[in-house]
A = this chain, B = another copy of it.
Amino acid sequence: MILLSELFDIQSVSGDESSMTKFLINLILQRKDTWKVVPTVYVGEEFHDCILLKFGNPRTAVFAHIDTIGFMARYENQLIAVGGPELEDGVELVGEDSLGPVFCKLKIVEENLFHDFPRAIGRGTCLSFAQNLRIDETFIQGAYLDNRLGIYNALQLCEDLEDGWVVFSTYEEHGGGSMPFLLKFIMENAPVKQALISDITWVTDGVEHGKGVAISIRDRYIPRRAFINKVIDLANKSGVAYQLEVEDVGGSDGREVQFSNYALDWCFIGAPEDHVHSPNEKVALYDLECMIGMYKYLMAHL
């Protein structure tokens, strides 16, 4: 799990993902020759901070977003949210501006957000939760399991993937915006019919820790039932433990597949977490294992 702790130490608030992109591209370039199939790698300014890997002849694309929720410095010690972070007074935040590292606490006064750093923080500086990663025999807990575990799953998948796109997207926590150009590139270069969203979902009264990966029938958006049925049929054959999710809120990169210019089916598949968008997101290691197993099976059989 050494990879995991490195992955968790990088700041990558929506809009400011370049550090994560550099980390990932280095990792991919180091590892790709050991993978069963060596992918074509697409990265650089024309893809902003996204990375696309094309393995063999893709039928399915996997998307894992590399950004996280966070905060941005406004004026006079004010903070504003990036995405939807859990707001808890006193939580520790970290970042860096032109004067150096920033380490402060979130202060909530009458629903307005402030920091307690002794000096002004440069306008527009991104802050995120201080990391405190804890792994025991059963659980992993810390900030940004959403979506560092989705990235981890995608990287594990790369090891023996034969055909498929593995794509690292940006901006997801704050409305999206990279998916349309990523989908255009995919569909014009090696088109697919279906997409899987490698992301983390919620523990609810129907989805529990330790019961397997969640296959989402819907969140705020509704993917095409004909495809979901095909996924569930394969999941039954896979032997991997899974749970069916039915929610009416929440979204993912799947939303942008749904509203894209292409007739693309999509399904969100991911381990559930507790304490969503807080510094204490918590996922059962068994569910993460099931997530990896399910992706390996589906990418081979879809």
Contact = CB atoms under 8 A, between A and B. Distances in A.
Interface of A: 14-16, 18, 45-50, 72-76, 80-82, 123-124, 126, 170-171, 174-178, 180-181, 183-184, 193, 204-206, 217-218, 221-226, 228, 244, 246-248, 258-263, 265
Residue of A76, A178, A222 contacting most chain B CB atoms (<10 Å) = A222
B124 A246 contact: yes
A260 B14 CA distance: 17
B74 A175 contact: no
A244 B206 CA distance: 46
Nearest to A126: B225
Contacts of A262: 180-181, 184
Residue of A82, A258, A262 contacting most chain B CB atoms (<10 Å) = A258
A46 B247 CA distance: 28
Nearest to A74: B246
Contacts of A259: 175-177, 180
Nearest to A83: B222
Contacts of A181: 260-263
Given A48-B263, A181-B262, A261-B261, 14 more contacts: A15-B218, A15-B222, A15-B223, A48-B226, A49-B224, A73-B246, A74-B246, A123-B206, A123-B217, A171-B222, A171-B258, A177-B258, A178-B263, A180-B261
A109 B47 CA distance: 49
A74 B124 contact: no
A73 B206 CA distance: 12
Contacts of A265: 48
17 contacts: A15-B218, A15-B224, A49-B224, A72-B218, A72-B246, A74-B206, A75-B206, A76-B206, A80-B248, A124-B244, A171-B258, A175-B258, A177-B258, A180-B260, A180-B262, A181-B261, A261-B261
Contacts of A81: 248
A67 B148 CA distance: 37
Contacts of A183: 261
